[in-house]
Amino acid sequence: MSDTLILDGIEKVFKRGLPGEVAVLRGASLSVARGEVVALVAPSGAGKSTLLHIAGLLDTPDSGRVLLDGREMGGLGDRARTEARRGEIGFIYQFHHLLPEFSALENIVIPQRANGVAVAVAEARAMGLLAQVGVAERATHRPATMSGG
């Protein structure tokens, strides 16, 4: 399995040059293969969310490289990053980022449909993902009735 996502030497500083400057990431590197499940475990404030935002193309590093399927993502504009997120990156947030009026299955299907995936294909993928994390039997449940953990 080849690495689909590579973060190499990622650095991120908040409040650069100001009082209270915080260097959150200092040379962080990570390689993730397609289908691999990765857990980031570190103390609060260690940069986990920042690293995930950079990996998901929601934020840009101050230095370092982000490669997605061998393509450098660093020089992409907003539109190109949005297209890469829509077509190649998925997010599963623990809290507050699901549409409360839709089921777990529908919350996974909706972004796929927005990207032009056929309903049957999107539903099959969604059920596969729910099964992978052990909650396929809760596919019709709304977020408020499901555990955040």
Domains and CATH numbers, the chain: 3-88 (3.40.50.300), 104-145 (no CATH)
Greatest distance between any 2 Cα atoms in the chain: 54
- What are the tens digits of pLDDT across the range 76-85? 899 999 888 8
Residues 6+ away with beta carbon under 8 Å from 11: 23, 25, 26, 27, 28, 61, 62, 63, 64
Query: Which residues have C-beta within 8 Å of that of residue 70, sequence separation ≥ 6?
Result: none
Is pLDDT above 60 for 69?
yes
Tokens 């907003």 sit at which residue?
78
> Which tens digits make up the pLDDT trace of 13-58?
998 888 888 899 999 999 999 888 888 888 878 899 899 999 999 9
- Calculate the average pLDDT of the chain: 89
**Helix (H, G, I), strand (E, B), or coil: what is residue 94?**
coil
